Structure 1
Amino acid sequence: MSRLHSAALAAALLSFAGAAAAQTSGAAEGMAVDRLARIAPVMKDEIAKGTVPGAVTLIARNGKIVHFEAHGFLDSGKTKPMPKDAVFRAYSMTKPIVSVAAMALVEQGKLSLRDPLSQYFPEFKQMKVLVEQRDGRGLTSRAEVPATRPILIWDLLRHTAGFTYSGSSPFPELRDAYLKADVESSVGDVSTEEFMKRLAAIPLAYEPGMRWEYSVATDVLGLVVEKVAGKRLDVHLEETIFKPLGMKDTSFQAKESQLPRLADAFDADPLKASSWKANRIEADPGKRYLRGGSGTATTAEDYFRFAQMMLNKGQLDGARILGRDTVEYMTSNHIGGLAGDPLPTTGPGYGFGLGFGVRLAEGNAWVSGSTGDYMWAGAGGTSFTIDPKEKIVGVFMAAGPSTRQHTRFLFKNLIYGALVE
């Protein structure tokens, strides 16, 4: 037998052994092996249809990985096979991480949810709100009026600060103001000082504390964390979350060694050019404010470790990041009775905690799940779900900004379809 054939046989045997181990583990954890095996063909079909170039899927139950596979390709041209350790732009999956960092500071007595934002950034002390007014003829117009209460740190965590995003702004005046000021640093490199100055000069979309509105709030929160910790956000997260959890491939800048593993979207994806330009994960993050709402790159296995820490009530492999009660508090609904909800990201039936969408009931949703399961997703095509009742973590990684809603719900259906015990 030639050396080449021997190597091929050895690789095949290792692959078979790995598959057998995964099957044994899957069966042992109440996940049906044949049903987990459905995932690869479904991903293959989606790749063939042009949904995404490739994907990495990971499912764990009871803290044990029962499914971990790479599918398709790393690049738009479908020339590089997708590796399991592919690096993805995490976008808004950065938000839960920064929220955890903030709550760790709360646990240490260095930060309080009752603190006004202006305590850390005085620019926000006297905010205005854009409101609709009706005159005697019944005609409506919008005017700026003083906010009735300050923005609190709690508001930043639960997206009730009154901020918005340019792409989802409820008013064209705010959209134009956000774009003109380049608040999201999508075009140029906006410094921390300029970001805060420009954002504070724009009126709020809503009164603080009155409505859930997805926004740049977590970007602001990240800079509060920076100020309280006395370190740049990327350094603080590396020291307090990434390194303790063994998240070796997660950072605010893709390292030179990671670039060959950086997943790309199809060139034909209509959102790729603008999304990738705004993210700029290859660039030096020190040139602009560190975007705590969307700035990291990560891998499926790294994010699994973060998610498993949350499922374990704040600890993983001896590293404690949060206390048990803090995790339960963060993953409870904090927007009951308020207008607005995270439906575009979570689907119906979800409220919002502190950094996570939280399921309110077994039903009234687009996909299976459990009361109290929580999740979030990224604009680049990534998503995760954590189910404390079933002790499940699911991580989906793909580069597909235009198809992200389809893929996140598809994967969640595949997870729960494999659950048999």
Structure 2
Amino acid sequence: MKNYVLLPIAGFLSIAPLHVALAEDGLQGFSQERLGRIAPVMKQEIAKGTMPGAVTLIARNGQIVHFEAHGSLDAAKTKPMAKDAVFRAFSMTKPFTSVAAMALVEQGKMSLRDPISNWMPELKQMNVLAEQTDERGRTTRVAVPAKRQITVQDLLRHTSGFTYAGSAPFPELKEAYEKAEIESRNVDLPPEELIKRLASIPLAYEPGTRWEYGVSTDVLGVLVERVSGKRLDQFLDEILFKPLKMKDTSFQASAEQMPRLADALDTDPQKADAWKWVRVEADPGKRYRLGGAAAVTTAEDYFRFAQMMLNKGELDGVRVLSRETVEYMMSDHIAGLQGSPAPTTGPGYGFGLGFGVRLQEGVAWVPGSTGDSMWAGAGGTSFTIDPREKIVGVFMAAAPTPRLHTRFLFKNLLYGALVD
């Protein structure tokens, strides 16, 4: 039986079905009909072979208005995707490690202007590649002493001069990183060995002059360990995961989580190398904790983290960071410097301390707000935090190769459903 509500119309009372009158209640300015577009689009992408499945979550004003699982959990498409599916976070680990570092800053144990050599003397006297022209006009790159030391801020904002092998700007750096196994892709490199080997390789650029994506957050994770005296995963459990009740977030998939671990299609050309790199199924043992890549998490757990950041450092009565610290982290820290996070964010974004930060309404490839923050993982996951609209969006998929397509597709669907 339908309930009815009386609606005033031109001085008269009109009887309308209550379920119609209240259909948009609880949706926080989102349209139910437009949110309903998400599932068919996901179904279409799954049918096209973009991914086996996905989990999508949208919240506004702290209230979840959309939370759905789509498609399959496994590559063979024999298990339905579930809302509590566990995903390899890849670079969505970086904001966790950045928060851990800022917690130590708030505790007075380090500051952003500190040289990291205070705790990592191995990295005190770094060399940097510089172009040199001989008398015949031939230009070569040589290693020269860096003009200043790497600071804590440099690690947080990716201006340290460290890089990744796959995106190294110079072939000699790519070769050096691969030979030294800097990213621990094929061997279990201990944290002390990571720092020792990095010390012997020139930086790509002078510290503080250019945004260059790379192992900065992995080094930051080792720094957090040396300053806190605890393993990175244990420290994050203590200050972040357990206080926020992120029960499925860790640096190793547990035996209980393994049946819920989402897999990519076997036909995805990037799957084998990516999955081998993070190795979340295995005990990390002596390997450094990959503060930039190795967490596992769920859509709901990541929502809780992102909502804490949207709330200026607090969730459900638990304060992780101060309001000022969160606002500082989600402000642009690379203004006037070379380089850009556009390969991950698309155009129109700067970078804060662990987050890409939108600089203006236009220019970007998708709608959003000035000041919205985002990042994404190489395995196919992404998130957005929009402080102006009070929105959190989380997209989880195990699909490395089409990740740019899926992250922007989800943002278009999210903002396309916002009507008020």
Q: TM-score range by the shorter chain?
A: over 0.9
Aligned position for 2:401: 402
CA distance in 2, matches of 1:242, 1:111: 22
1:181-219 CA-to-partner distances (Å, cap 9, x unmatched) read: 000000010011111111111000000000000010000
- Range with bigger deviation, 200-209 or 282-291: 282-291
| AA matched with 2:287 | R
What are the within-5 Å matches in structure 2 for residues 233-244 of structure 1?
233-244=232-243
* Mapped contact 2:24–2:31 kept (Cα < 8 A): no
Aligned position for 1:282: 281
CA distance in 2, matches of 1:56, 1:228: 36
Aligned position for 1:121: 120
Aligned position for 1:251: 250
Aligned position for 2:170: 171
CA distance in 1, matches of 2:265, 2:238: 35
* Helix, strand or coil at the partner of 2:220: helix
Aligned position for 2:7: none
* Mapped contact 2:367–2:415 kept (Cα < 8 A): yes
* Mapped contact 2:356–2:375 kept (Cα < 8 A): yes
1:77-135 CA-to-partner distances (Å, cap 9, x unmatched) read: 11110010000000000000110111111111011101101111110010000112222
CA drift at 1:25: 6.6
- Range with bigger deviation, 128-137 or 234-243: 128-137
| AA matched with 2:316 | D
What are the within-5 Å matches in structure 2 for residues 291-370 of structure 1?
291-370=290-369
CA distance in 2, matches of 1:139, 1:81: 60
Aligned position for 2:64: 65
Aligned position for 1:14: none
* Mapped contact 1:26–1:66 kept (Cα < 8 A): no
Number of aligned pairs? Answer: 400
| AA matched with 1:412 | K
Q: Does residue 101 in structure 1 map to residue 97 in structure 2?
A: no
CA drift at 1:287: 2.7
* Mapped contact 1:241–1:321 kept (Cα < 8 A): yes
* Helix, strand or coil at the partner of 1:380: coil
Specify whether residues 82 and 25 from structure 1 end up closer, same or farther in structure 2 by C-alpha distance, changes over 3 A only: farther
* Helix, strand or coil at the partner of 2:415: helix
Give the gaps of 5 or more residues in structure 2.
1-18
CA distance in 1, matches of 2:82, 2:336: 45
| AA matched with 1:77 | A
1:267-298 CA-to-partner distances (Å, cap 9, x unmatched) read: 01100010000010011123301110001000
CA distance in 2, matches of 1:54, 1:133: 51
Aligned position for 1:411: 410
CA distance in 2, matches of 1:188, 1:107: 35
* Mapped contact 1:25–1:64 kept (Cα < 8 A): no
Aligned position for 1:380: 379
1:307-363 CA-to-partner distances (Å, cap 9, x unmatched) read: 000000000001100000100000000000000010010000000000000000000
CA distance in 2, matches of 1:408, 1:346: 9
* Helix, strand or coil at the partner of 1:284: coil
CA distance in 1, matches of 2:71, 2:27: 28
* Mapped contact 1:26–1:33 kept (Cα < 8 A): no
* Mapped contact 2:43–2:71 kept (Cα < 8 A): yes
Give the gaps of 5 or more residues in structure 1.
1-19
Aligned position for 2:189: 190
CA distance in 1, matches of 2:113, 2:392: 32
CA distance in 2, matches of 1:343, 1:254: 31
* Mapped contact 2:27–2:65 kept (Cα < 8 A): no
CA distance in 2, matches of 1:85, 1:79: 17
1:112-170 CA-to-partner distances (Å, cap 9, x unmatched) read: 10110111111001000011222232221110000000000000000000000000000
Aligned position for 2:228: 229
| AA matched with 2:128 | V
| AA matched with 1:182 | E
Specify whether residues 235 and 26 from structure 1 end up closer, same or farther in structure 2 by C-alpha distance, changes over 3 A only: farther
CA drift at 1:28: 3.8
Aligned position for 2:143: 144
* Larger helix fraction of residues: 1
| AA matched with 2:35 | L
Runs of 4+ in 1 over 4 A off after TM superposition: 23-27
1:356-411 CA-to-partner distances (Å, cap 9, x unmatched) read: 00000000110000000000000000000000000000000000000101000000
Aligned position for 2:211: 212
Identity %: 72
1:6-44 CA-to-partner distances (Å, cap 9, x unmatched) read: xxxxxxxxxxxxxx9xx9576540000000000000000
Answer with 1 or 2: which has the greater Rg. 2
CA distance in 2, matches of 1:190, 1:25: 53
Specify whether residues 43 and 234 from structure 1 end up closer, same or farther in structure 2 by C-alpha distance, changes over 3 A only: same
CA distance in 2, matches of 1:150, 1:334: 18
* Mapped contact 1:26–1:67 kept (Cα < 8 A): no
* Helix, strand or coil at the partner of 2:407: helix
* Mapped contact 2:87–2:261 kept (Cα < 8 A): yes
| AA matched with 1:247 | M
* Mapped contact 1:380–1:401 kept (Cα < 8 A): yes
CA distance in 2, matches of 1:334, 1:157: 9
